[in-house]
Amino acid sequence: MKKIAHFITITALASFVLLACNQSSNSKDGEVSLTTMEDSLAYALGVSIGENLKQSGFDELNTAAMNQALKDVYGGDSTRMSVEDATMIINDFMMAKTEAEAAGAKQAGQDFLAFNAEREGVVTTASGLQYEVITEGTGASPSATDQVTVHYHGTLIDGTVFDSSVDRGQPATFPLNGVIPGWTEGLQFMKEGGKTKLFIPSDLAYGDQGAGELIGPGATLIFEVELIKVGQ
């Protein structure tokens, strides 16, 4: 949904600016010369829109059809679909793509966790969470409602780092019931001073929505967590 909103915002901005520029036309034989600020601005918007479309999952587009739509809009001709229908088509495409991405990521995560479960020292809980004790702690264990202070390093199953308090050099403090379920469950197996690796399936993490730019739909997450303190 974030990608859809971003795409619509970029497109709306482009429409506004292109309209203000009155579509300066200086093309010859399909070539465009960027001789004025309006020309350069229009081309720059095209580059921006194109890059955003590619990043939003529109890998293959019929650019001739897209150009025709722009000509129809700015030429005052009737378009072949309403804005409402166009928005619905875009939304349907993005939702289908997100679902496909989530399904693929979930399967990759399931395969990873099935293999990981066979490693010595890895414990799989009833929820599907896996954890591996790196260093056994000696202090208190938190309850689900406790505040905890931790250092953590989070990666995807391919090793991509998406968040790390270790890299920032600053521990994080938060209520344990205010984070993803895999954390809420996993840290309760720890004691202060301990370090544990959590392997969190997507349904105990961010599910089909994903989070941010790096955690995609259906992603399985890995966290190395050091429990520094329980409580205030």
What is the block-wise mean pLDDT of the chain (232 residues), using blocks of 10 residues?
A: 52 48 48 84 86 78 85 84 90 86 94 97 98 96 97 97 97 96 98 98 95 94 98 84
pTM score, whole prediction: 0.72
Amino acid at 27: S
Catalytic, out of 7, 112, 199, 223: 223
Alpha carbons 196 and 47: distance in angstroms, whole number: 46
Catalytic, out of 163, 199, 215, 222: 163
Nearest to 124 by CA among 208, 207, 185, 210: 185
Catalytic, out of 39, 200, 206, 215: 206
Catalytic, out of 152, 199, 215, 222: 152
Alpha carbons 17 and 14: distance in angstroms, whole number: 5
Can you say whether the dihedral through the CA atoms of 128, 194, 154, 208 is positive or negative? positive
Q: Which residues does residue 147 pair with via DSSP β-bridges, in sequence order?
A: 175
Architecture of domain 106-230: Roll (3.10)
Q: Which helix (H) or strand (E) holds 155?
A: strand 147-156
Alpha carbons 127 and 16: distance in angstroms, whole number: 50
- Is 93 designated active site? no
> SS3 string of 162-195?
EEEHHHHCCCEEEEHHHCCHHHHHHHHHCCCCCE
- Is 162 designated active site? yes
Token reading at 91: 């939304």
Q: Where are the alpha helices (DSSP H) in 61-156?
A: 63-75, 83-116
What pLDDT score was predicted for residue 175? Answer: 97
Nearest to 41 by CA among 66, 22, 62, 60: 22
What pLDDT score was predicted for residue 30? Answer: 57
Catalytic, out of 10, 49, 58, 162: 162
What pLDDT score was predicted for residue 21? Answer: 45
Catalytic, out of 180, 189, 208, 228: 180
- Is 206 designated active site? yes
Contacts 24+ apart (CB under 8 A), 136-140: 136/191, 136/194, 137/190, 137/191, 137/192, 137/193, 137/194, 137/195, 137/227, 138/191, 138/192, 138/193, 138/194, 139/191, 139/192, 139/193, 139/194, 139/227, 139/230, 140/191, 140/192, 140/230, 140/231
Alpha carbons 4 and 98: distance in angstroms, whole number: 11
- Is 180 designated active site? yes
What pLDDT score was predicted for residue 8? Answer: 53
- Is 131 designated active site? no
For the chain, residues classed under CATH 3.10.50.40 are 106-230
What pLDDT score was predicted for residue 33? Answer: 81
